[in-house]
Structure 1
């Protein structure tokens, strides 16, 4: 009987001592699950205690039991903040999601959409029909141009660079729309911020049909660009034979010099490099009465310019014109 009682007492003692040990192990397990994984750091207990730990005395139980709420608090705090952290990471790692919440116009402007750039650039504010006219010219839509004009679009409105719809059509080398605008009353002499006009650009680009239409609708043959160059000068400079031919059919000044002191004949010889186009233009100018003896700022006339540049055919054309 005493032996049975002794064994029973011993088992009860083991059971009581096992409870604090289970609490300690449970707290450590809870901490491990709530704390981010890191390199293991040996604790004093794990580094000094052998695998078969001696059973702790009941006096140690309150200490380990008191540490359990602290571990539980740490675990609940970590779990409470973890979702917020991952949500924040998701919102910052996915900019497309935040951009998707913008209105379509703002989203397009933010993404730099080519179709929205004209709306975000600074410039004059036009009526709906005038804006439609600029858009139609840019797209080369003749039907849309006609509709915008019918709706009352302003023919000589200017964009941020001072270009009118007609100037935009000329810059696009769109003969059909340019002639349509001229026929409707667009001003061929309207200058942009660079002091270029549709008439001057059409001359330089060799748009003969537009040039004829511009002359028929009031183009000023004496108008000049920012360097003081006439339409005849810029056409000669660009080697546009047909433009020169068209311009010479009107009362245009042949020997007018620009701000650099060059005439149309001077620039033809100096920049034409003796090409076939420059020879044709020189012959047209000389036949129309251009003065080959007019000197440039260096004191050279057309003969000397051609000789210095080793242009024998040009010299021959000049000599033939002087006979």
Structure 2
């Protein structure tokens, strides 16, 4: 026999009068979030059939709904099931992120395709101005970058607030092209330039792609940027 340890907050809610039904709903919702994250498809289906809210958002530091968790982890069938059950394709986390953003950053091509087909906004931006295209470009996922560009993702938006890059360094004012150049992703840089990305785009600190390529001793990128007209 397994015993479920009640969170202190739930015990307190019971003491102040929260009914058994509400506590039951709470655990059902937590179960859906965990099942979606872990990719347990049959459990997800069973919970949805019981009427658990597919768009429930947990009260924690991230506020990631079930669709966000499944998209991040790459659980294709779970993502499809959640969408079929009415999951909001652009549901936001506490940081303003949509499911498309982590899927793009991790490089889950099929999930990116599914979300876009379901109507995901390719130009949605997080609270720090980060977009799915920026995330994919920074991670070097050229196929995802090409997918997003084909559906109209804007290659020339610049994030407007300070953010932490994948190495935990504070950055301010970047774009898909600037980020791809910094990480040395030649194929991504080429895809962005061929799609019309501005070779002279500046971050909020005045950094241009060519300056950044030179700063990082990326001779191949310097030549590529110059071939697309970059002069400084």
TM class, shorter-length: 0.7 to 0.9
Q: Which residue of 1 aligns with 2:168?
A: none
1:120 alignment counterpart: 7
Structure 1: 5+ residue stretches without partners:
1-103, 109-114
Distance 1:267 1:138, change over 3 A: closer
Number of residue equivalences: 205
* Root-mean-square deviation (Å): 2.5
- 1:57 aligned residue: none
Per-residue CA deviations over 1:259-281 (Å, capped at 9, x if unaligned) read: 132111111112x1x2xxx1010
Structure 2: runs of 5 or more not aligned: 11-21, 161-171
Of 175, 179, 183 in structure 2, the residue corresponding to residue 263 of structure 1 is: 175
> Which whole-Å deviations, capped at 9, do the CAs of 1:191-233 have from their partners, x for residues lacking one?
2223222111111111111111111112112211221111111
What whole-Å deviation, never above 9, does each CA across 1:247-305 have from its counterpart, x for those lacking one?
111111110000132111111112x1x2xxx1010000000000011222332322222
Name which of 157, 162, 167 aligns with 2:56.
Answer: 157
Counterparts in 2 of 1:137 and 1:295: CA distance versus 1, 3 Å: closer
Query: CA–CA distance in 1 between the matches of 2:84 and 2:104?
Result: 18
Q: Does 1:193 align with 2:94?
A: yes
Please state how far the C-alpha of 1:177 moved relative to its aligned partner. 1.0
Relative distance call for 1:139 and 1:308 in structure 2 (3 A) is closer
Cα shift at 1:175: 2.4
* Structure 2: distance between partners of 1:305 and 1:130: 46
Cα distance change on mapping 1:141 and 1:200 into 2, 3 Å? same
**Which structure's CA Rg is the greater one?**
1
How far 1:309 sits from its partner (Å)? 1.6
> How high is the TM-score relative to the length of structure 1?
0.58
Q: Which has the higher contact order (CA 8 A, sep 6+)?
A: 2
- Counterpart-to-counterpart distance in 2, 1:129 and 1:173: 22
Alignment TM-score, normalising by the size of structure 2: 0.78
